């Protein structure tokens, strides 16, 4: 990092833990509840933590009338980083200090500036620290990363302040990693996954477990259900599988939406069969030893027109060119 510039690193665990769905099943290597049950973090705290906010000069003080460390603190610090950007770190801190003194009582402004300065230096230090940890590729590695990150914060700020600043973020990401590692366990049937998810929610959220996923959109909940019962569905024949998928869809969507989804299924299935037919007939042309290269090319183009239509053939050729270019790039 250029020491003369203030750069909002924003090392959110979210970017570190991108691809929850790729994580394997976690072990018990990292005990559940990295933040600890002594610090209660509710689903509402998490929703507030990730909610977009704007701060008006006249209203800032009301967010910190009691404690400086609360769900608004990180949001306010990010607001300050944006408000006083494009300047040296020294000038940035000076501008922030003057601004805080203009909108807060002197003692509170002094305390807030001290915390903000420490937060800024923490962000600058974090880039070098996290390089040593590497990028997590499994649930265990992700949970260890998350624990190491919060331990570093606790050493830097003290446990109470670190958990107050980042508790919602850490608990959210820990829950997501553990949840999606259960969902994506290909060895488990849906009923067992549901049982383990219920246990996880109870262990991490206690009396708030019923509301932790309550704001999920219908389509997200449907996709989650499909992943949860992937093994069950994979063992059904086509007819039974379609019936079961329809049953799941009716849990989340109206009859009208279910009908539209089924129409899309039919379209996708039709396109799949269409391409399978094309690949089979193309292979026969390519393997015909009696045809010259230019004759093969002409017949393949005619086949594309026959199967996909004029406009569809053009689109198919564009996709084929992209696919061939990607295959060529991979072979290098």
Domains of the chain: which residue ranges? 13-215, 254-331
- The pLDDT value given to residue 13: 45
Determine the Cα–Cα distance for residues 238 and 243; give it in Å rounded to an integer. 9
**Given its phi and psi angles, is residue 253 left (phi above 0), alpha (psi -120 to 50 degrees) or beta?**
beta
Split the chain (332 residues) into runs of 10 and give each run's mean pLDDT: 40 46 58 88 90 88 91 94 93 96 95 97 90 88 94 96 95 95 95 96 92 91 96 96 97 96 95 94 95 95 94 92 88 77
Quote the pTM value.
Answer: 0.81
- The pLDDT value given to residue 202: 94
Those residues with Cβ within 8 angstroms of residue 111's Cβ, 6 or more apart along the chain or in another chain: 68
- The pLDDT value given to residue 39: 86
Helices and strands: H and E segment counts in the chain: 14, 0
- The pLDDT value given to residue 123: 93
- The pLDDT value given to residue 172: 95
Q: What angle do CA 28, 32, 38 make, to 5 degrees?
A: 150
């Amino acid at each position: 990092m250029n020491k003369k510039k203030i750069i909002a690193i924003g090392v959110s665990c979210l970017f570190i833990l991108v691809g929850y769905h790729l994580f394997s099943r976690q072990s018990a290597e990292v005990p559940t509840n990295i933040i600890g049950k002594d610090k209660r973090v509710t689903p509402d705290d998490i929703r507030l933590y990730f909610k977009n906010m704007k701060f008006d000069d006249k209203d800032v003080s009301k967010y910190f009338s009691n404690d400086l460390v609360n769900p608004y603190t990180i949001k306010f610090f990010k607001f300050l980083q944006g408000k006083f950007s494009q300047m040296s770190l020294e000038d940035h801190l000076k501008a922030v200090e003057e601004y805080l003194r203009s909108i807060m009582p002197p003692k509170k402004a002094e305390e807030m500036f001290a915390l903000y300065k420490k937060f800024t230096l923490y962000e600058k230090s974090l880039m070098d620290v996290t390089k040593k940890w590497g990028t997590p590729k499994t649930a265990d590695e992700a949970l260890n990363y998350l624990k190491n990150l919060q331990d570093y914060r606790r050493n830097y700020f003290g446990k109470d302040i670190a958990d107050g600043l980042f508790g919602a973020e850490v608990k959210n990401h820990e829950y997501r990693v553990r949840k999606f590692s259960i969902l994506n366990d290909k060895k488990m049937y849906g009923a067992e996954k549901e049982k383990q998810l219920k246990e996880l929610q109870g262990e991490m959220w206690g009396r708030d477990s019923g509301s932790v996923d309550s704001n999920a959109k219908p389509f997200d909940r449907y996709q989650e259900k499909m992943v949860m019962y992937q093994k069950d569905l994979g063992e059904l024949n086509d007819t039974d599988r379609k019936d079961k998928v329809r049953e799941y869809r009716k849990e989340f969507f109206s009859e009208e939406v279910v009908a539209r989804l089924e129409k899309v299924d039919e379209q996708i299935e039709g396109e799949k069969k269409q391409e399978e037919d094309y690949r089979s007939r193309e292979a026969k042309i390519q393997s015909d030893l009696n045809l010259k290269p230019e004759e093969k090319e002409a017949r393949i183009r005619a086949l594309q027109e026959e199967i996909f239509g004029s406009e569809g053939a053009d689109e198919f050729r564009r996709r084929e060119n992209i696919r061939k270019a990607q295959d060529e790039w991979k072979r290098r």
